[in-house]
Amino acid sequence: MWNVDVTCIGGIRSGEATLRPGPNIVQASNFQGKSSFLAAIQTAIGTTGLLTEDHPLMENEDDGKVTLETDEETYTVSLTRATDSDEPAISRSGTPYLTRDQDQIAARLFAVLGEDNPIRAAVREENQERLTELLKKPLETENIDLRIEALQREIKELEDEVAAAEAASADLPAAQQKVTRLQGELRDLNETRDELERKVDEETDQRALRDELTAKQSDLEREEARLERLENQVDRRKAQLDDKEAALESLDIPDSPTAEADIAEKQTRIDELAVKIDLLDDLHRSTKAIIDEGEIDLITDVERTLSGDTFSCFVCGAETTAEAVTERLNEISDRQESLREQRATLTEEVTQMQQRTREIESKRQQKAELEDEIKRLRVDIQEDQHEVRSIEATIEELQAEIEQREAEYEAAEKAGESHSAELKTIQQKIGSTETKLDRAQAELERIEAELQKRNDRQEQLETKRDELETLRQRRKQKYNELVNQFDAAMADIIGRFAPGFDGAYLDQKTDANDTVGFEINLARDGHTTDLDTLSEGERELVGIVTALAGYRTFSVGDRVPCILLDGIGQLAAEHIRHMIEYLENTAEILVTTAYPEAGSFDGETVSPEHWDVISHETAQSRDHPQITN
């Protein structure tokens, strides 16, 4: 059971009503607040102010409020008009029945079925593109399409990396063959050198000088290659250092928020307010139950007179009346609301302070990491540069020593050794071949590393493809379920209402970019036709069925146990009864509107007889008429 208390919402200045499980029909003539009451329920559950819509605050009023009391909880939502701008904006505060964005959107589209329901409006206006956008909204709140797009981009990047690695793999055989060839050439050259050395040893005593020269030449080539690699490494680290310093320069760390002690103090205050609210709630509920049930004589003596009943206050002993106690209970209720607002304000402040603290801590950590990286890079660069200078000095020494050894060797050659020149050539070829072999082996290792990277990327690619397929299947499942629910609901509706068409179908279409669209097609006299061939009432019927298909597909009944139905004046009284019967088992609570001339209905009748509403004349005199029908 729901109790709804309304103040300055739509065309209702004040009013209250009780909604029970099953159909609840707000039955009255025009300008008695029927639609405004549904707008008040919508405010309480949190589905106003969505999809560019305004909150239904009464015209020329600065504040309005709705209190929804269920069997388990009480929800109070306030609307406030900002008066400090040329075009006043209306803001909402308090805690509605639904607090998550995705739940509010789903309920607005598929449970609040008034004349301004976006689904009904899209069907009424034959706007199939807008209908597609709205039917996909619940999945948008889960970011499924965005996640699919992100995965597609990641997959494309991984595919490019795998393709690049595949291209590198094409060079693997040639690299392996080159290493094998150079290893063979080096073996042959070493054998030739050994043979020549044997002959030279037989002819002359130059071997020690020749070996020393060859070793120095090999040392020089290795140091030059090492110098080249180190200089490239310094350039890379300098580029990284520039990037890190730029990132550190652009990093903006906000000032620290209030100390943790302030947060703890506010949290303590929130806990104290919660205790006070609970105490007042217990006092209010128990006292109100005794007064409402007329059982005051259970706890105190009641003196009954013609002028009214009086009794001794069961707290202080003073003489009082039920009216005075009720007035005091209303004051307690107002105090409860004030405490709840204080608690909500403090909770929001604590949340914002904690969020800001986390953001600052994250940026501080990022700054520390950048500073550590910069410090490390600077140390590495200094060490590399020091090593560069050391290698350059070594190279200069080797060049001088080689020049000296070559002069000595050439002098020895002139002594007449027949194989010295040939041996020198072979030694040079050996040094050159060793350098080529080192480079070929380094290239082979690079290619093999690329192939290993390809395997890693291939595993990541398969994982991403599986994730993408899972999301696509979830989207497809929901869309297929939506189509099936529409078809089933439409078949039932046709059987109940016998409209002027044979059937209606929700077609699902997917384009080359994997974008899904929906389109409603109709069957009449064996032919497919469009929405523009329907009557106004038939179009409204199709719009309601489309919204109900979404209600079932996206399990809206698990989020909010009610359906609000308004703006069905195009339907005959008999069809309204059929609609109520059809919806009765769809939601726990059904609230709809009807005119008195529609006759009586099964279910609970909600009468606005005691509501204070804007009169017909007042509504017509305003610049922007309120919803009061």
Rama region for 498: left / alpha / beta (φ>0; ψ in -120 to 50; rest): left
Q: Is the pLDDT of residue 203 over 60?
A: no
Which numeric CATH code is attached to 12-48+103-148+477-621?
3.40.50.300
Q: Is the pLDDT of residue 87 over 60?
A: no
pLDDT of amino acid 535: 81
pLDDT band at residue 260 under the 50/70/90 scheme: low
Q: Which two tokens stand for residue 74?
A: 């009480």
pLDDT of amino acid 88: 56
pLDDT (tens digit per residue) in 535-584: 888 888 888 888 888 888 888 888 899 999 988 766 667 777 888 888 88
Q: Name the residue among 73, 466, 132 with its Cα closest to residue 281.
A: 73
Mean pLDDT of 371-396: 92
Mean pLDDT of 415-419: 53
- The shares of helix, strand and coil residues in the chain, as percent rounded to the nearest 5, are 65, 15, 25
pLDDT (tens digit per residue) in 581-628: 888 888 899 999 988 887 888 889 998 988 999 864 444 433 333 444
Which of 70 and 148 is assigned the larger pLDDT? 70
pLDDT of amino acid 200: 65
Which of 324 and 20 is assigned the larger pLDDT? 20
pTM (global) more than 0.85: no
pLDDT of amino acid 56: 92
Strand partners, 80: 63, 91
pLDDT (tens digit per residue) in 143-200: 566 677 777 888 888 788 778 777 777 778 888 898 899 899 889 989 888 887 777 6
Count the alpha carbons within 13 Å of 298 in the hemisphere toward its beta carbon. 9
pLDDT of amino acid 44: 94
Q: Is the pLDDT of residue 141 over 80?
A: no
- Computed over every residue of the chain, the mean pLDDT equals 82
pLDDT of amino acid 623: 35
Integer Cα distance of 389 and 400 in angstroms: 17
Count the alpha carbons within 13 Å of 552 in the hemisphere toward its beta carbon. 18
Core vs surface per residue 379-399: b (16+ CB within 10 A) or e: eebeebeeebeebeeebeebe
Q: How far is CA 306 from CA 295, 534, 599, in A?
A: 19, 66, 41
Spans of all domains in the chain: 12-48+103-148+477-621, 161-247+399-471, 260-391
